[in-house]
Amino acid sequence: MSDVSVVIFLITPIISLLSSLLVFVLTYLKDIKNDKKTVAREKIDNLYVPFYKKSLAGYLSEPYMLDSWSLETASSFLNLFTNNIQYMSTESQQLYQPFYKAFLNKYLPDDNLSNEEVKQSNLEFKNAFIDIATSLQKDYVSLCKLLG
């Protein structure tokens, strides 16, 4: 065999192997991207859309002031966050505990709180809700960018 024949004989299977490998890698990368989009869509459907719907309902059904929310309204947010914490970013998950504590202090307080302590618990709840809501908004924007 001539040198050219040997080179052609060796290059053909190498090209075939490389093209197969390239197709595999590109398919794998596409699948990863699709999986990320599926997870992002699941997060939006299970946490972020219900959060915004509840936010609108809470603001429309009761005065805009967070400290005047009923136990029922505040509990609906607590339940939403608790049942969907796995969809939150790490930052939002870290804000869940302060929100939960503020919820308990405001809506299930110890007996005989002074007016100042009641005001403080209202302020803590308001700040904790705003913090977690702001974090969820950032998460939502990031997810929307991922989805394109």
pLDDT value at residue 61: 59
Give me the chain's average pLDDT, please. 86
pLDDT digits (tens, 9 = 90+) for 4-58: 777 677 787 788 777 777 777 777 778 677 778 888 999 999 999 999 988 887 6
With beta carbons less than 8 A apart as the criterion, state whether 93 and 135 touch: no
d(CA 119, CA 75): 19
Say how far residue 67 (Cα) sits from the centre of its chain.
25
Of 85, 84, 68, 75, which Cα lies nearest the Cα of 54? 75
Q: Which two tokens stand for residue 116?
A: 């100042």
pLDDT value at residue 13: 78
Is the pLDDT assigned to residue 147 strictly greater than 60?
yes
pLDDT digits (tens, 9 = 90+) for 49-100: 999 988 887 665 555 677 788 899 899 999 999 999 999 999 999 999 999 9
Q: What does pTM read for this prediction?
A: 0.76
Could you write out the DSSP letters of every residue in 60-79? HHS-S-GGG--HHHHHHHHH
Q: Which two tokens stand for residue 64?
A: 């805009």
